[in-house]
Amino acid sequence: MKLLRFGPVGQEKPGILDTEGRLRDLSGVVPDITGDCLGDDGLARIAAIDTDSLPLAPEGVRIGACVGKIGKMIGIGLNYSDHAAEAGMPVPEQPIAFMKATSAICGPNDDLQIPQGSEKTDWEVELGVVIGKRAKYVSREAALDHVAGYCVVNDVSERAFQNDRGGQWMKGKCHDTFGPIGPWLVTRDEIADPQDLELWLEVDGHRYQQGNTGTMIFDVATLIAHLSEFMTLEPGDVITTGTPPGVGMGQKPEPVFLKAGQTVRLGVVGLGEQCQTTVPASR
């Protein structure tokens, strides 16, 4: 299934794509796409519905973040060895984790804000993992049983804020609109192997990133098991699993960063695409 949310910001309704790729309104079945309906029983209930009997969503409606009421968004850094190399950092021995503010989460095609004072706003296409079942001290072997599904994430980062302003990475990771997710959540039964997914990203038509999740240092199951040692993963939590090489700060001979008026397109094959226009941030 491909589950999503649509409508104005703060007023999103739950939706599902039918067999012909049309957006159907699920609000008569579930109140929202949140952790409450992402367990195996909740997903089975949705899967049993005749989607063709559901009302069609309005044509051209805005697509929101594919999960609502997210409790935690956890980022993983330097999870591709070639990305670590372009960042000039050693390959980590254990996963590097950071928190990304839930206020950064937005729809996949919403405007991407360039923060005031920013000179190094960067892009990062990533595979997002949505938790469906509470996970605490889970084994790697059982970890994927706790996944509801997968989605596209752009882990937007302001590199100067991240690396030069002191403290943790979160200063560069949490600005409004720095966490577009979606367009939809693809349930795990449709993804045969999360370690065999192609990722890509373009800015103004130029392809900067092209990778495959098979080259992750720490795979999805390892990340879930590892994180569950340090915190309880709750239904609806999102893990964004790291980016392949080709980010702006790694470009040669000079880094390339985003500025207002550009178009960022990205996707994960089988999980859909995002398209953002960069705009100056306002208060």
pLDDT in tens, 4-57: 999 999 999 999 999 999 999 999 999 999 999 999 999 999 999 999 999 999
pLDDT in tens, 51-83: 999 999 999 999 999 999 999 999 999 899 878
pLDDT in tens, 198-253: 999 999 999 999 999 999 999 999 999 999 999 999 999 999 999 999 999 999 99
* pLDDT over 80 at 89, yes or no: no
Q: What is the mean pLDDT of the chain?
A: 96
DSSP-derived secondary structure for the chain? -EEEEESSTT--EEEEE-TTS-EEE-TTT-S-SSGGG-SHHHHHHHHTS-GGGSPBPPTTPPB--SSSS-S-EEEEES-BHHHHHHTT-PPPSS-EEEEE-GGGEE-TTSPEEEPTT-S-EE--EEEEEEE-S-BSS--HHHHGGGEEEEEEEE--EEHHHHHHSSS-GGGGT-STTSEEB-S-EEEGGG-S-TTS-EEEEEETTEEEEEEEGGGBSS-HHHHHHHHTTTS-B-TT-EEE----S--GGG-SSS-----TT-EEEEEETTTEEEEEEEEE---
- Range of the structural domain that residue 133 is part of: 65-280
Q: Is residue 10 part of a domain?
A: no
Q: Band of the pLDDT at 168, cuts 50, 70, 90? A: confident
Q: Is residue 53 part of a domain?
A: no
Q: Is residue 178 part of a domain?
A: yes
Q: Is residue 1 part of a domain?
A: no
In this structure, what CATH number is given to the domain that contains residue 249?
A: 3.90.850.10
* pLDDT over 90 at 170, yes or no: no
Q: Is residue 17 part of a domain?
A: no
- Residue 129 has a pLDDT of 98
- Residue 279 has a pLDDT of 98
- Residue 11 has a pLDDT of 97
Q: Band of the pLDDT at 166, cuts 50, 70, 90? A: confident
Domain count, the chain: 1
Q: Is residue 25 part of a domain?
A: no
- Residue 91 has a pLDDT of 85
Share of the chain above pLDDT 90, in %: 92
Mean pLDDT of 146-175: 93
- Residue 243 has a pLDDT of 96
Q: Is residue 7 part of a domain?
A: no
- Residue 282 has a pLDDT of 86
* Stated pTM of the model: 0.96
Q: Is residue 143 part of a domain?
A: yes
